[in-house]
């Protein structure tokens, strides 16, 4: 009796999906241009200090008084207010990960 590989029992290659994403980004540098710009802008001494102040003053503290009559609406506003700094931080992290993965030479 001849043994055959069983595709159900074979281990999935998770890195293959990551590599495909990396390769697609290499073909579209415009998709990562903003990430790179954020990284280069804020990966300086002053940029890091700026981001730390933004985190302490705007991202971490609660910006809405729970006793407000329109608390529900203000929470939605505050979360939207925090989206832009979050996006910048995410772009920086994305670019750092690409550097570590060797995808951005």
Say if residues 91 and 68 touch (Cβ distance below 8 Å).
no
Distance CA(29)–CA(27), nearest Å, equals 6
pLDDT in tens, the chain (105 residues): 566 777 777 777 777 777 777 677 666 777 788 889 999 999 999 999 999 999 999 999 999 999 999 999 999 999 999 999 999 999 999 899 888 887 654
Can you tell me which residue has the tokens 């008084």?
A: 65
């Amino acid at each position: 009796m001849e043994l055959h590989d069983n595709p159900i029992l074979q281990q999935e290659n998770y890195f293959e999906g990551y590599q495909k994403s990396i390769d697609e980004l290499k073909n579209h540098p415009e998709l990562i241009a903003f990430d790179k710009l954020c990284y280069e802008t804020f990966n300086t001494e002053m940029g890091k200090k700026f981001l730390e102040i933004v985190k302490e003053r705007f991202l971490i503290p609660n910006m809405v008084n729970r006793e407000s009559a329109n608390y529900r609406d203000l929470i939605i506003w505050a979360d939207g207010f925090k989206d832009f700094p979050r996006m910048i931080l995410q772009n920086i992290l994305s670019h750092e990960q690409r550097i570590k993965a060797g995808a951005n030479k």
